[in-house]
Amino acid sequence: MLARTLALTFHGIGAPIVSQAPGEGRYFVTEDIFRDTIRSLAGLEAKSGVKIRITFDDGNLSDHAVGLPTLLQNGRTARFFVLAGRIEKIGYLSGTQLREMVAAGMSIGTHGWDHVDWSVLDEAGQRKGTIDARCKIEDEAGCAVREATIPFGRFDKALLAHLKQCDYDRIYTSSGELSCDGAWFCPR
């Protein structure tokens, strides 16, 4: 099976509401760039024969304020990977917004509790990031969380084995390659 799926990732749209960690601002795009990108996807898919999935990391408020309406206007869906510890915080999604996104046909996944490197966590830290975070997001979003994206894209065999034991249907990382549509491990 050939890899023919591209996962396009956004972190935030427009100006960040809260201060960002060093270097994180480079992952934000302007509202115009985001809207133009989403509008162009159908044409790009038709020309290339590649399916484009849209993903968001962190659970920024712009996902709901700008991302959701733009996706709906263009007949697209996306996967939103939320940081459980930021739900209801200033600048981030609320449980109500997560439920609205689910009702609109969007998928909700986990990006952990805090924005930390899962590959260096002890057992308690991994549990908080991969299991406790999932439970909180499920409670807030009112849906099952079956997918995760690995913070910073850093992983090793032990972390992947742990995520397999957690019974996730799909894991995303930031290795920047195409993936097979039904694959468990998906670069983006």
In the chain, the percentage of residues whose pLDDT exceeds 90 is 74
Query: Quick check: 111 and 59 in contact, CB under 8 A?
Result: yes
pLDDT band at 1 (very low <50, low <70, confident <90, very high): low
The domains of the chain, with CATH numbers, are 5-187 (3.20.20.370)
- What is the enclosing helix (H) or strand (E) of 81? strand 79-82
34 within 8 A of 10, measured Cβ to Cβ: yes
What's the pLDDT tens digit per position in 13-62? Answer: 998 888 877 777 778 899 999 999 999 999 999 999 999 999 999 999 99
Helix (H, G, I), strand (E, B) or coil at 53: strand
| Calpha distance 50→6 (Å, rounded) | 7
Q: How far apart are CA 46 and CA 67, in angstroms?
A: 22
What's this model's pTM, rounded to 2 decimal places?
0.94
Rounded CA separation 71/66 (Å): 9
* Angle 19-23-28 from CA coordinates, rounded to 5°: 70
Please report how the helices 95-103 and 133-141 are oriented relative to each other, as an axis angle in degrees rounded to 10: 70
What local confidence, expressed as pLDDT, does residue 128 receive? 96
pLDDT of residue 21: 73
The pLDDT score that the predictor gives to residue 69 is 98
Residue 67 pLDDT: 98
The answer on pLDDT for 111 being more than 90 is yes
Evaluate if residue 188 carries a pLDDT over 80.
Answer: yes
Distance, in Å, from the CA atom of 8 to the CA atom of 187, rounded to the nearest integer, reads 10
Q: What is the mean pLDDT of the chain?
A: 93
Which residues have CB under 8 Å from 33's CB, separation 6+?
none
